[in-house]
Amino acid sequence: MHRSFVTPNSSIFLGPHGEPPVSHAGFILLSVVMALFTGPAIVLNATVIIVSLMHKQLRQPLNYALVNTAVADLGTAMTGGGGFLSVVNNAQGYFSLGRTGCVMEGFAVSLYGIASLCTVAPIAVERMFAICKPLGKMTFQKKHAIGGIALSWLSSLTWNAPPPPFLGWGRYELEGVGSSCAPDWHSRVSRNVSYILLYFAVCFALPFGIILTSYTKLMWTLHSVGFHTTGLDNAKKTAN
């Protein structure tokens, strides 16, 4: 399958015989399915943001991170693959925004998506600190929440904005059936492969490792506490 940009304002995947990869009915079905997920995602994430802004008592440090996740997820739903733009493009049967639009959509979905993932990591760390207390009575404060949020956006912006994808190290291309854009995962060019490998390590593996480690520690602590409590209860029953 290869790419063919048919006009400055539209682009489409064409198969080896010049046919689209999915029939018109297939594109319509994809558009409907995506709309069923995108609509609720937009409504629910927008509701979280609005309710948090309206009620001062909800503006707690941990909720800062939760609201930031809602902001990033709302951005993804509005701009990203599987979001509003993909609903429109699939309904048309091709990517209608041209090469510039492809780059901008790929940038937007990557920026919001990675920012959302990186925000989950501080939430996991906060839960681990609250339950396991590895540093004693240290509490999750406003400055910690703001620092985690700033770091998530800075990390996402660093890997998705200039210089990497826009100056030749990595690039944005059509993906899937050609109705959305993302970093070019399929390229075999060395500079693109090196970008994708580092991108995966820093933007996916590292946050996931932090989340996994934090929740593993949390679950082990809860298991140990439960085991200790059960032992005490059994000892009391034996004594009685």
For the segment 157-167, the average pLDDT, to the nearest whole number, is 73
Tokens at 83, concatenated: 């979001």
For the segment 165-187, the average pLDDT, to the nearest whole number, is 80
For the segment 204-217, the average pLDDT, to the nearest whole number, is 92
Give the model's pLDDT for residue 17.
46
Residue 80's closest CA among 113, 103, 48, 47? 113
Residue 125 CB neighbour total at 10 angstroms: 21
Tokens at 180, concatenated: 């959305």
* Amino acid letter, residue 38: T
For residues 15 and 4, give the distance between their C-alpha atoms in angstroms, rounded to a whole number.
10
- Helix H, strand E, coil C: the string for the chain is CEEEEEECCEEEEECCCCCCCCCHHHHHHHHHHHHHHHHHHHHHHHHHHHHHHHCHHHCCHHHHHHHHHHHHHHHHHHHCCCCHHHHHHHHHCCECCHHHHHHHHHHHHHHHHHHHHHHHHHHHHHHHHHHHCCCCCCCCCHHHHHHHHHHHHHHHHHHHCCCCHHHCCCCEEEECCCCEEEECCCCCCHHHHHHHHHHHHHHHHHHHHHHHHHHHHHHHHHHHHHHHHHHHHHHHHHHC
Q: Which residues contact 39 (CB under 8 A, 6 or more apart)?
A: none
For the segment 153-181, the average pLDDT, to the nearest whole number, is 80
Could you give the C-alpha distances from 204 to 114, 123, 146, 212, 239, in angstroms and in order?
Answer: 8, 16, 21, 12, 52
**Per-domain boundaries in the chain:** 2-239
- Highest mean pLDDT: which range of 86-90, 113-117, 158-162: 113-117
**Does residue 1 register a pLDDT over 70?**
no
Confidence of residue 6 (pLDDT cuts 50, 70, 90): very low
- Length reported for the chain: 240
Question: What are the tens digits of pLDDT across the range 98-108?
Answer: 888 888 888 88
Give the model's pLDDT for residue 206.
93
For residues 69 and 52, give the distance between their C-alpha atoms in angstroms, rounded to a whole number.
13
For the segment 184-200, the average pLDDT, to the nearest whole number, is 87
Give the model's pLDDT for residue 49.
93
User: Does the predicted model carry a pTM greater than 0.85?
Assistant: no
End-to-end CA distance of the chain: 76
Its CATH architecture, for the domain 2-239, is Up-down Bundle (1.20)
**Does residue 116 register a pLDDT over 80?**
yes
Question: What are the tens digits of pLDDT across the range 14-67?
Answer: 544 455 677 888 889 988 988 998 899 999 999 999 999 898 888 888 888 889
